[in-house]
Amino acid sequence: MKRVVLDWVAVLVSYFLLGLIRILTGSQARWWGCPPKALQRIYFANHQSHADLVMIWAALPKELRHNTRAVAARDYWTRTPFKHWLTSAVFNVIYVSRDRQASEDPLEPLIEAMSHGDSLILFPEGTRGFADEPQAFKAGLYNLALKFPEVELVPAWINNVQRVMPKGEVVPVPVLCSVTFGVPMQVLPGEDCPTFLQRARLAVLALRDV
């Protein structure tokens, strides 16, 4: 009974947050390069705010949100019981450890989720950036693409979300934001990791002015 109640609370909180996000940001989804289809995908985007995770989640249609899981840093999002509950029960994120042991494979939880058919929301920079352009991408996106070549890789640009919660502020500021989804891409035959990551980063950056 307790589990059922908690599940219903999570559903209600998700609807509340969805409404709040849309009031604060407009949450405009711009499917410029592909339609919102129920295909297994890795959505990869720029990362300038802790709200990025929520912004892409809110931009997806309801039928896609259920099977699309964001990748989040365990040390930050499990720091308090509320953050842990919110990200696990409401957003169903996949935690990755940034302070992992050398023997740990950081992609293991992502591979497990994708093996079960889940789509991912991934921020290849690995951490938030504060410049106008994304930082260099880390190799995880490339390695996942090699392991799951049938999965579409969809670049996305999140615009203005860093202004919703300026650094040092507690109260969100209403700002019109958008997520632009680009043309799906894949690793080309014989393409090495640095070349692919640069191409993926440029694909995200190209959506900034679309």
Q: CB-side exposure of 20: number of CA atoms within 13 Å?
A: 12
Residue 7 has a pLDDT of: 66
CATH of the structural domain 1-206, one choice from 3.40.1130.10, 3.40.50.720, 3.40.50.970, 3.20.20.80: 3.40.1130.10
Residue 6 has a pLDDT of: 56
Distance in angstroms between the alpha carbons of the first and the last residue of the chain = 49
Give 34: exposed, middle or buried? Use CB within 10 Å, 0-12, 13-18, 19+.
middle
Q: How far is CA 30 from the centre of its chain?
A: 16
The string of pLDDT tens digits covering residues 99-124 is 766 667 889 999 999 999 999 999 99
Residue 155 has a pLDDT of: 98
pLDDT under 50: residue ranges of the chain? 164, 169-171, 173-174
| Beta-ladder partners of 29 | 179
Residue 48 has a pLDDT of: 78
The string of pLDDT tens digits covering residues 115-156 is 999 999 999 987 766 667 888 999 999 999 999 999 999 999
Residue 171 has a pLDDT of: 45
* Antiparallel, parallel or unpaired: β 152-159 and 178-181: antiparallel
Residue 184 has a pLDDT of: 97
